[in-house]
């Protein structure tokens, strides 16, 4: 089947997601908020990776625990005003990362239990309990396994008489065309200079056991690194996170992963949800463009202070 072939070969240009929700919130999203969903700040890597026309499957937790429809991503935005019932009750924004979606097919509520697609059974049989717990946690999750996507395509066709079609829409990466090796060196140098402007002892290629960290910032000469940076341009996200975890375990450092590629953002999030879950809440992921922007602003500010005679 051509549809399956397209999906397998172009998984990153035809991304698929699972939106996990309880009954109440899903009905709010559909009926009251005009097909709008929101997630917490910690879901930023996933939210940022969403693209228009990505396929999104709707999963209901509670006592349903099945996929009950699918649609496509439309727009995404950040909104710092209470929207959901618990936000309004507490007058506090909990889910600022929002996106809208269109519905292609959706079972009526009285069909959810009988006609919904049992994704948990499939994942248990293929990967065990841990995988579905990771993929179906609340929020929005990227589907990385082609076997699961193919299963959903078959089940939608068989149970719901609906064919999921994938338009080949390549993701547009708005990134400068720079050789990876040169870009890696550029970013490291910028981070070193930012550290110097912060009056910290900034050092690149810092040795730790049998590893070399891209950049560290220390407060005093003989002190442990307070800030540790790994720059991910090409290379291996797994090893970058391994080094950051080691630094955190050893020194309790503030750890940062600088990422240039959207694929690496997705990969890092998958690893932080599994292998490196212990540092998930400690690693800060920063886009390479933001590092360049930070450097420009910091340099401008320092030069202005010098002009005023403050520095």
Domain membership of residue 170 (yes or no) is: no
For residue 206, give the 3-state DSSP assignment. Answer: strand
Mean pLDDT value across residues 10-32: 80
Mean pLDDT value across residues 103-113: 95
Q: Are residues 147 and 15 in the same domain?
A: yes
DSSP 127-196: H-HHHHHHHTSSEEEE---HHHHHHHHHHHHHHH-------------------HHHHHHHHHHHHHHHHH
For residue 105, give the 3-state DSSP assignment. Answer: strand
Q: Are residues 196 and 276 in the same domain?
A: yes
Q: How far apart are CA 238 and CA 242, in angstroms?
A: 6
Mean pLDDT value across residues 196-225: 91
Q: Are residues 189 and 156 in the same domain?
A: no
Domain membership of residue 138 (yes or no) is: yes
The reported pLDDT for the residue numbered 101 is 94
Q: Are residues 116 and 235 in the same domain?
A: no
Mean pLDDT value across residues 245-249: 93
The reported pLDDT for the residue numbered 210 is 79
Q: What is the pLDDT of residues 115-142, one digit of tens each?
A: 999 999 898 888 776 666 677 877 888 8
Which segment of 105-114, 123-132, 141-150, 229-238 scores lowest on mean pLDDT? 123-132
Band of residue 311 on the pLDDT scale cut at 50, 70, 90: low
Band of residue 264 on the pLDDT scale cut at 50, 70, 90: confident
Last residue within a domain, chosen from 95, 130, 160:
160
Q: Are residues 106 and 49 in the same domain?
A: yes
The reported pLDDT for the residue numbered 269 is 87
The reported pLDDT for the residue numbered 41 is 86
Q: What is the pLDDT of residues 39-61, one digit of tens each?
A: 988 888 888 888 888 999 999 98
For residue 31, the domain's CATH number is: 3.10.590.10
Q: Are residues 204 and 150 in the same domain?
A: no
Q: Are residues 245 and 97 in the same domain?
A: no
Q: Are residues 197 and 111 in the same domain?
A: no
Q: Are residues 233 and 286 in the same domain?
A: yes
Statement: residue 8 has pLDDT above 50: no
Task: Say what percent of the chain tops pLDDT 70.
Answer: 88
Q: Are 29 and 101 in contact, with CB atoms under 8 Å apart? A: no
For residue 233, the domain's CATH number is: 3.40.1350
The reported pLDDT for the residue numbered 131 is 63
Mean pLDDT value across residues 147-165: 91
Q: Are residues 7 and 153 in the same domain?
A: yes
Domain membership of residue 171 (yes or no) is: no
Q: Are residues 285 and 230 in the same domain?
A: yes
The reported pLDDT for the residue numbered 2 is 32
The reported pLDDT for the residue numbered 7 is 36
Domain membership of residue 167 (yes or no) is: no
Q: Are residues 13 and 84 in the same domain?
A: yes
Domain membership of residue 287 (yes or no) is: yes
Domain membership of residue 166 (yes or no) is: no
The reported pLDDT for the residue numbered 141 is 87
Residue 76 CB coordination number (10 Å)? 16
Band of residue 87 on the pLDDT scale cut at 50, 70, 90: confident
**Overall domain count for the chain:** 2
Domain membership of residue 172 (yes or no) is: no
pTM given for the model = 0.53
Statement: residue 110 has pLDDT above 90: yes
The reported pLDDT for the residue numbered 68 is 95
Domain span including residue 288: 180-308
Domain membership of residue 184 (yes or no) is: yes
Q: Where are the alpha helices (DSSP H) in the chain?
A: 2-9, 23-27, 44-49, 85-90, 112-115, 119-127, 129-135, 146-160, 180-197, 237-251, 262-272, 288-308
Closest CA to 276 of 291, 260, 257, 258: 257
């Amino acid at each position: 089947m051509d549809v399956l072939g397209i999906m397998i070969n172009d998984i990153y240009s035809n991304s698929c997601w699972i939106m996990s929700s309880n009954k109440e919130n899903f009905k709010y999203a559909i009926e009251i908020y005009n097909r709008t969903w929101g997630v917490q700040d910690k879901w930023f890597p996933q939210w940022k990776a969403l693209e228009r026309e990505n396929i999104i499957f709707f999963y209901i937790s509670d006592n349903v625990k099945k996929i009950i429809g699918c649609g496509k991503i439309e727009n995404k935005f950040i909104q710092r005003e209470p929207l959901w019932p618990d936000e309004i009750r507490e007058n506090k924004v909990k889910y600022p990362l929002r996106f809208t979606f269109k519905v292609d097919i959706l079972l009526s509520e009285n069909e959810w239990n009988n006609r919904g697609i049992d994704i948990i059974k499939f994942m248990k049989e293929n990967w065990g309990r841990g995988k579905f717990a990771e993929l179906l946690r609340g929020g929005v999750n990227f589907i990385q396994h082609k076997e699961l996507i193919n299963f959903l395509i078959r089940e939608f066709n068989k149970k719901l008489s609906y064919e999921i079609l994938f338009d080949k829409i390549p993701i547009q990466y708005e990134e400068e065309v720079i050789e990876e090796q040169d870009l890696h060196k550029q970013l490291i140098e910028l981070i070193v200079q930012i550290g110097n402007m912060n009056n910290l002892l900034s050092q690149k290629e810092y040795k730790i056991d049998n590893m070399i960290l891209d950049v560290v910032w220390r407060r005093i000469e003989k002190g442990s690194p307070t800030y540790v940076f790994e720059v991910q341009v090409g290379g291996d996200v797994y090893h970058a996170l391994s080094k950051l975890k080691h630094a955190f375990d050893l020194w309790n450092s503030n750890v940062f992963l600088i990422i240039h590629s959207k694929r690496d953002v997705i990969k890092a999030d998958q690893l932080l949800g599994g292998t490196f879950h212990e540092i998930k809440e400690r690693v800060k992921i920063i886009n390479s463009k933001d590092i360049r922007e930070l450097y420009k602003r910091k340099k401008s500010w320092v030069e202005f202070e010098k002009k005023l005679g403050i520095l």
